[in-house]
Amino acid sequence: MGSLLVAGLLCGAASGAAQAGQYIGGDLNLSLDENDDVLVLAADVVGEGRVGGDLTVFAADVRMNLTVEGEVQIVAADIEIDGAIDGEVGIAGADIRIGADIFNDLDAAGADLTLSGTVAGDAALAGATVIITPDAIVSGRTEIGARELYMEGRLEQGAEIHARDVVISGTIEGPVDIRARDVVIESGAVLTGPVTIRSPKPPSVAEGAQVGDLDYQQYDFDEDSDFDHPNVNIGIDDFGFAPSPWAFGGVFTASAFLLGLLVSLASPKGVAGIASAFRRQPWLSGLLGLVVLAVVPVLTLTLFVLLLATVIGIPLAFLLIFALPIVLFLSYVFGGIVIGDLVMNRSGEPARFGLRAGSMLAALLVIGLLSVIPLLGWLISTIVFCIGLGAWTIALFSRTKPAQNMDAV
């Protein structure tokens, strides 16, 4: 399923960048001089130069030093971005370092997030560890959600901070609202105020720190709810990466159809057996699929742990984890196959390949169209999935053999 989600994201990005310069590959070393938008899809990306439009990057590792006249959107594991950016910036990743001068707003979310550049607009930062270095300056309003925050830079329009541990040694001008478990204000820190701190205990203010009007409020810090702040939760939708339901549904349905064709060609008898099992016991197929769906994750986790206990079992354990999404997706495909067969194959005889492909395509298209409906779509997809998983299970343990003419094409 995860691979299909990535495919959907890439489809959404590609559809929005029809006129963009596209760079697709494994490891890319780019020297750019583009007047229009640029889309990069790669494993590792090293880039420099100029982009006259927007820059969109999907990769594993990204290191770029660019002048960008439009917006920048990056999704990657490790990200280092330097240079100058005129438009808004949205970044999501694991390890992120932002050293660029940004002349607009910044939204960034990651595990470890370091800001060492300047931001002319507002900044919304979220991460496990957020570090604002002494060179960093945010001219607009700053919102931060973190587990650990080290603020050493300069925030010129105040800040709203939700974190577990907060250490401030830099300068914050304007109103400051902090909700945290521990707050430390080190020597040399400047908070012009007013400053509101909500915490289980008073802040630790070192000698030499300059703090304006301080309002401390006793507060029972909740590590779960206090990180769930609407203004600092940064999701992928905020960056415009998420495709429309139609784009995702199209990729998902096309992938299911292609996989169904491959399975039907590779094992026509097996597919016919699954369709026959559903015809014989349709209600049992759905109920059994629901039961198997509940049991499979537990069994998979148990086997994974047991396999890790032996040296020879370690690769098998990870193979098991990678195989699970494929098995689950195949169950959805089989659901589409058996429903299409039930509706369009009125004779009940094993279908020829042409009828099998046509009925499967029709079923998957109808299911895909219904799946974009909120709530109802999830219910229908779940039912289809359970039907396919249950029919597959029945066929695996059934001794009934389909007729001999099923291999006819």
Residue 408 inside a domain? The answer is no
Q: Quickly list DSSP for 164-228.
A: EEEEE-SEE-S-EEEE-SEEEE-TT-EE-S-EEEEESS--EE-TT-EE-SEEEEE----TTGGG-
117 and 214 co-located in one domain: yes
User: Looking at 57, 77, 97, which one is the last position of a domain?
Assistant: 77
* pLDDT score recorded for residue 323: 81
Q: Rounded to 5 degrees, what are φ and ψ at 301?
A: -65, -40
Domain count, the chain: 3
Q: CA nearest 113: which of 103, 183, 99?
A: 99
What CA–CA distance (Å, rounded) separates 336 from 388?
7
Domain match, 235 and 276 both: no
Whether 287 and 338 map to the same domain: the answer is: yes
- 370-404 in b/e form (b: 16+ CB < 10 A) is ebeeeeebeebbbbbbbbbbbbbbbbeeeeeebee
Domain check: are 54 and 148 in the same one?
A: no
- Whether the pTM exceeds 0.85: the reply is no
User: What is the C-alpha separation between 109 and 107, in angstroms, rounded?
Assistant: 7
pLDDT recorded at residue 239: 46
Three-class HEC string of 273-335: HHHHHHHHCHHHHHHHHHHHHHHHHHHHHHHHHHHHCCCCHHHHHHHHHHHHHHHHHHHHHHH
Predicted local confidence at residue 131, as pLDDT: 96
Domain that holds residue 352: 244-397
Last residue of a domain, one of 21, 53, 77: 77
Residues 322 and 338 in one domain: yes
Residue 409 lies in a domain: no
Do 100 and 194 fall into the same domain? yes
* H or E element in which residue 359 lies: helix 353-371
pLDDT of residue 79: 93
Question: Do 163 and 65 share a structural domain?
Answer: no
- Cβ atoms of residues 350 and 403 within 8 Å: yes
67 and 20 fall within a common domain: yes
Question: Is the torsion defined by CA of 381, 386, 387, 389 positive or negative?
Answer: positive
Question: What is the spatial distance between Cα 342 and Cα 319, in angstroms, rounded to a whole number?
Answer: 34
Q: How far apart are CA 319 and CA 313, in angstroms?
A: 10
Same-domain pairing of 277 and 366: yes
- 403 is a domain residue: no
- Over its length of 409 residues, how does the chain's per-residue pLDDT go in tens digits? 333 333 444 444 444 434 457 887 778 899 999 999 998 888 789 999 999 999 988 888 999 999 999 999 998 889 999 999 999 999 988 899 999 999 999 999 888 999 999 999 999 999 889 999 999 999 999 999 999 999 999 999 999 999 999 999 999 999 999 999 999 999 999 999 899 999 999 999 999 999 989 999 988 876 655 554 434 444 445 444 455 566 666 777 888 888 888 888 888 888 888 888 888 888 888 888 888 888 888 888 888 788 777 777 777 877 878 888 888 888 888 988 888 888 887 676 776 777 778 888 888 888 888 877 777 778 888 888 888 888 888 888 875 444 444 443 3
Phi, psi of 17 (to 5 degrees): -130, 45
CA 393, CA 328: separation in Å to the nearest integer? 12
3-class SS of residue 96: strand
| 236 & 272 share domain | no
Place of tokens 């429903």: 339
**Are the CB atoms for 30 and 49 separated by under 8 Å?**
yes
Residues making up the chain, counted from first to last: 409
Give yes or no: residues 151 and 281 share one domain.
Answer: no
- List, for residues 143-185, the tens digit of each pLDDT value: 999 999 999 999 999 999 999 999 999 999 999 999 999 999 9
Q: Are residues 142 and 124 part of one domain?
A: yes
- Measured in whole angstroms, the distance separating CA 349 from the mean position of its chain's CA atoms is 43
Q: Is the peptide bond before 203 cis (omega within 30 degrees of 0)?
A: no
